[in-house]
Amino acid sequence: MAFYLLEGSLKYSKEVADCVYNCTTCASCEEICKPMSNMIVQMGGSALKTMLPRILSPLGAELEALQSVAIMEAMRADCVDLGLQPEPLKKTAESIEKNHNPYGEPHANRTKWAEGLDIPETADTVLFVGCSTAYRRQEIAKATVKILKRAGIKFAVLPDEWCCGSILLRNGNVDIAEKMIEHNVELLKEKKVKRLVTSCAEGYMGISKDWPQLAGELPFKVMHISELLAELISGRKIKFKKPVNLRVTYHDPCHLGREMDIYDEPRAVLKAIPGLELVEMYPTMHAAWCCGAGGGVKISNPDLALEIGAAKIPFIKETGATVLASACPFCKTHFIDVIDRAKEPIEVKDITELVAEAMGV
Residue ranges binding another protein (CB under 8 A):
1, 3-4, 6-7, 9-11, 13, 15-16, 18-19, 28, 31-37, 39-40, 42-45, 47-48, 55-56, 59-62, 66, 68, 282-283, 285-287
Alpha-carbon distance of 150 to 173, in angstroms, equals 39
Instruction: Supply the DSSP symbol for 11.
Output: -
Question: Which residue, 185 or 256, is less far from another protein as judged by CB?
Answer: 256
Q: Please, what is the angle between helix 302-310 and helix 329-342, to 10°?
A: 80
Question: Which residue, 15 or 121, is less far from another protein as judged by CB?
Answer: 15
Question: Which residue, 56 or 214, is less far from another protein as judged by CB?
Answer: 56
Question: Which residue, 218 or 268, is less far from another protein as judged by CB?
Answer: 268
Question: Which residue, 16 or 223, is less far from another protein as judged by CB?
Answer: 16
Question: Which residue, 6 or 108, is less far from another protein as judged by CB?
Answer: 6
- 87-96 core/surface letters (b: 16 or more CB in 10 A; e: else): eebeebbebb
Provide the minimum distance between the beta carbon of 304 and another protein in the complex, in angstroms, as a whole number: 12
Instruction: Supply the DSSP symbol for 166.
Output: H
Provide the minimum distance between the beta carbon of 69 and another protein in the complex, in angstroms, as a whole number: 13
CA distances from 208 to 154, 201, 224, 229 (A): 22, 11, 10, 18
Provide the minimum distance between the beta carbon of 47 and another protein in the complex, in angstroms, as a whole number: 6
Widest Cα–Cα separation across the chain = 64
Provide the minimum distance between the beta carbon of 82 and another protein in the complex, in angstroms, as a whole number: 14
Provide the minimum distance between the beta carbon of 46 and another protein in the complex, in angstroms, as a whole number: 9
Alpha-carbon distance of 144 to 306, in angstroms, equals 28
Question: Which residue, 58 or 116, is less far from another protein as judged by CB?
Answer: 58
- Using alpha carbons, select from 243, 239, 216, 215 the residue that is nearest to residue 229: 239
Provide the minimum distance between the beta carbon of 284 and another protein in the complex, in angstroms, as a whole number: 9
Alpha-carbon distance of 170 to 198, in angstroms, equals 19
Provide the minimum distance between the beta carbon of 282 and another protein in the complex, in angstroms, as a whole number: 5
SS3 of residue 326 by DSSP: strand
346: enclosing H helix or E strand:
none
Provide the minimum distance between the beta carbon of 268 and another protein in the complex, in angstroms, as a whole number: 17
**Rounded-to-5 percentages of helix, strand, coil across the chain:** 55, 10, 40
Question: Which residue, 286 or 312, is less far from another protein as judged by CB?
Answer: 286
SS3 of residue 231 by DSSP: helix
